Amino acid sequence: MTVFAPSAVENLNSHSIPQALSLEAIKHIQKQFALAAGRAKRAGYDGVELHAAHGFLLSQFMTPYYNRRTDGYGGSLQNRARMTLETYQAVRQEVGDDFPVWIKINVRDGFEQGVGFDAVLYLCSQLTQKGIDAIEISGSFTAFSPEATSFFKKEAEKIAEKNDTAIILIGGNRDPQEMTEILNTTKIAYFGLARPLMKDPDLIRRFQQVLSRPE
């Protein structure tokens, strides 16, 4: 099986050497994202989310380590963001303005030559201008202790301040009092709770009990 990536550099997880994508292949992948979103809309889904985090393809285009290209999809942060922005625009054109499209992005990769926060801010600004419905903030969890909560709140708060779109904070959201404070003191709009809910199906009831206690 041939594995493709922005550039032919060793994957830090699998240690395999992928094949660099051609320009023709890049356009084909963007089209496939759009067609998949269109199928989801016709199937009755409420919306779609583009995965541009956690080392998947769109994330790799943003990351200097993985993206060593010298064409219009590599080098400057504007070029590294091009793949994600064009993919979003292809999806939007396919599904129309009335169908929610979100995106999940990395604010840190957890290794040298990872994505920089200036690149993240640029990408979020461009996505907001182009009409993205929400941006979910994630990244590498490896630097956080087991007791850490709401891992990326500082980055998400800065992004929310600069962008007039819904910002979703994901990762370590298990302290209801801290989450309430974040909602009340920042422009962060929502929380992602997938892993906490998988670990504790009674999470929401426990949150209610904590928040209803008299001070």
Give yes or no for residue 129 having a pLDDT over 80: yes
> Which comes out higher in pLDDT, residue 198 or 25?
25
Q: What is the CATH topology of the domain spanning 20-211?
A: TIM Barrel (3.20.20)
pLDDT at 146: 86
Record the tokens describing residue 33, joined without a space: 């994202």
For residue 215, name the pLDDT band (cuts at 50, 70, 90): low
Record the tokens describing residue 199, joined without a space: 């670990």
| pLDDT tens digit sequence for 167-184 | 999 999 999 999 999 999
Q: Which of 25-29, 46-50, 199-203 has the lowest mean pLDDT?
A: 199-203
Give yes or no for residue 145 having a pLDDT over 70: yes
Give yes or no for residue 41 having a pLDDT over 80: yes
Q: Taking the domains of the chain in order of start, what are their residue ranges?
A: 20-211
Q: Are strands 134-138 and 166-170 parallel, antiparallel or unpaired?
A: parallel
Mean pLDDT of 10-29: 97
Q: Are 85 and 137 in contact (CB under 8 A)?
A: no
Q: Which of 23-27, 74-78, 135-139, 198-202 has the lowest mean pLDDT?
A: 198-202
Q: Are 169 and 150 in contact (CB under 8 A)?
A: yes
CA-based radius of gyration for the chain: 18
- Please, is 28 exposed, middle or buried when counting C-beta atoms within 10 Å of its C-beta (0-12, 13-18, 19+)? exposed
> Which comes out higher in pLDDT, residue 84 or 203?
84
